[in-house]
Amino acid sequence: MNSVTSLALEPARWQVNDQGEIFSLTYGDVYASRHGAWSQAQSIFVDGCELPTRWMGSPCVRILETAFGLGVNFLATWASLKASASKARLQYIAIEKHPFTAQDLRTALQISLTTLPASLAPLVHELVERLITQWPPLISGFHSLPLDDQTTLTLVFGDIDAVLCSLHGRFDAVYLDGFAPDCNAGMWSSLVMKRLAELAAPGAIAATWCVTDTVQHALNEVGYTVNQQVGSARNHEFLTAHWPQKFIESQTLPASVVVIGAGIAGASVARQFASRGVSVTLIERDQPASGASGNPVAVVRPEPGGVDNMIAEFSAAGVGWLKRWLSVYGQSVPHDFCGAVRLLRDQRRHDKLAAYALTVPDEWLHELSNTDASTLCGQTVAADAFLLPQAGWVDPKALVAALIDHPLIDVKSNAEVTKLTRMSSDLWCVGFSNHEEIHTHHVVLATAFADLSPDVLGIDSARGQLSLLPERADKSLRAIVCRDGYITPAINGMHIIGATIQYDDLDANSRTEDDLENFHRLQRLLPEFVSDVNELRAGRVSWRGTTQDRLPLVGKIAEGLYASIGHGSRGVACAPWCAEFLATQIMNEPLPISATWVERLHPLRFSKSISPKS
């Protein structure tokens, strides 16, 4: 069990003081008055930033909060939107250096919201439960929570200076909250104010309870017009700061989008646009989930690694998003986040991961002895291991079906696209094998490969074959076991073992030698689980697009043309989050991850003759 003091991200240290307030032991200040938390959130932040008016006048309201704390400001904002008749989306980015654990957050909110108005209590308590259900493990970085069709909360755990420098987007409202300047001066520094000015959208409003001369001067210095307001009896005075309504050439947001490819990548893109009120035509040459997305089971797991490991950061974002999305929309999707027992290839990798495990909470990763690993999964594993509690399995075909189950998604199956040509600077022609055409301003390629865009390079085709092993009553397996391959618990009477990988291999037939390879892979995981290769049955053969750096190609290819392709073996785990990443770019919303990922995932990054454009 990890101790709190060893964790890279220190959780909130708190207690209830004699006045019944939540008190920070780290900063020596209260999070908010027990009697004034909700009224302060409503009067200073929701009303101070004129959100009731913005709900009715904007397709998306973008809010940045400098310190999430207990989340009362967010809950008041979410409740305000829910209580309105608006169809606006809420993109809420909140920074927190010392987040609460889920259980501590629940307890602290129960104390802080005791004076909530009776008329609001049922709604707010429902929103609290939704928030707690999706609360992420306490690891540094970005965590996006798809709370409902209108609201996405992105929590960024880390130091405010580093986080503000990593954000990509513009904000309509800024909640300047946090502990008092004499307790946490860094939260109110001139550098913070300068960055908040850079992130402000035209006409943005910042609000804060802190009315010190130093804060007013810092806001004025960076270009805000500051006004001191008279609050309620409990809140006394507060500040609002207006950013100039500068003219910026407006970006035309799409009313409709054509998505080519109805596997997991295309279905995810279609859903994220549909959830924003955009009509989608989803084109598939066969039937949805016909390619690798049609496998019987997909293993989804984060790749463990340190804070500077790109694959670890990417997979954490993907698995976290998928797990939370399923908690809201996945009732029809068979899935189980049963955890994965991860073995390592050599001692060096084991020691490196063991050191990392000491810096993260057990709910994210922890080391297991051989005995403990065997006890946990129910069978003898080959070596000491690590438990990935956030890992699991999903039925990909059912996931695709759930994603495209939306009234704004029109699926065109058995429709083969043979050409994609630019008609003008902002118009594309999608041509079909039957000579029909669709003209559109926005196209997203989601076909695994880049067949329709010669500008996109760097994708290889990898053939993979699964093997199946019938369930046996005396050989129960309770968790996924993985290393360079994996075996799942029995699902519908079958364990799934996989998968081989062969490049430039177009053989669609299952092969005995591939089952033998999967058998040897299984022996390296569970040496006593099966002794006869003939017990294995040949499984499905499919192809996936892979890249040299093991990251997909997601983003803008040209004006009106975008891609979400090359997802490799992480398609089911990460393509749904990549769809959100792409949609935020196209819809002019803040990114759900740091700005560096625009270039890291850029679809033209392997096309040396072409300069990527973000």
What ranges do the domains of the chain cover? 4-242, 253-336+392-458+548-614, 340-389+459-546
Give per-residue pLDDT as tens, 468-493: 999 998 999 999 999 989 999 999 99
pLDDT of amino acid 37 = 87
pLDDT of amino acid 532 = 94
What's this model's pTM, rounded to 2 decimal places?
0.94
Spatial distance between the Cα atoms of 3 and 360, rounded to a whole number of angstroms: 10
Dihedral-angle region of residue 550 (phi above 0 means left; psi in -120 to 50 means alpha; beta otherwise): left
pLDDT of amino acid 234 = 55
Least Cα distance to 362 among 342, 387, 340, 380 occurs for 387
Q: Are 84 and 150 in contact (CB under 8 A)?
A: no
**Which range, of 15-19, 159-163, 331-335, 490-494, averages the lowest pLDDT?**
15-19
**Which range, of 245-259, 267-281, 500-514, 559-573, averages the lowest pLDDT?**
245-259
* Percent with pLDDT over 70 in the chain: 95
**Which range, of 92-101, 233-242, 489-498, 509-518, averages the lowest pLDDT?**
233-242
Give per-residue pLDDT as tens, 80-105: 999 999 999 999 999 999 999 999 99
**At 35, is the pLDDT very low, low, confident or very high (cuts 50, 70, 90)?**
low
- Determine the topology of domain 4-242 in CATH: Rossmann fold (3.40.50)
Mean pLDDT of the chain: 92
pLDDT of amino acid 20 = 86
Q: Are 578 and 593 in contact (CB under 8 A)?
A: no
Q: Which CATH number is associated with domain 340-389+459-546? A: 3.30.9.10
Q: Is 575 exposed, middle or buried (0-12, 13-18, 19+ CB in 10 A)?
A: buried
Give the pLDDT mean for 321-342.
97
Spatial distance between the Cα atoms of 48 and 208, rounded to a whole number of angstroms: 9
**At 247, is the pLDDT very low, low, confident or very high (cuts 50, 70, 90)?**
low
Q: DSSP label at 230?
A: E
Out of 1.10.3720.10, 3.50.50.60, 1.10.1760.20, 3.20.20.70, select the CATH number for domain 253-336+392-458+548-614: 3.50.50.60
Cβ contacts of residue 479 below 8 Å, gap of 6+? 338, 339, 340, 341, 376, 377, 378, 387, 489
Spatial distance between the Cα atoms of 537 and 530, rounded to a whole number of angstroms: 13
b/e sequence 131-146, b meaning 16+ C-beta within 10 Å: beebbbbbbbbbbbbb
Spatial distance between the Cα atoms of 201 and 590, rounded to a whole number of angstroms: 11
- Integer-rounded Cα radius of gyration of the chain: 25
**At 612, is the pLDDT very low, low, confident or very high (cuts 50, 70, 90)?**
very low
pLDDT of amino acid 5 = 38
Tell me the one-letter amino acid at 311. Answer: I
Looking at the predicted structure, is the pLDDT value of residue 449 above 90? Answer: no
**More confident call, 242 vs 1:** 242
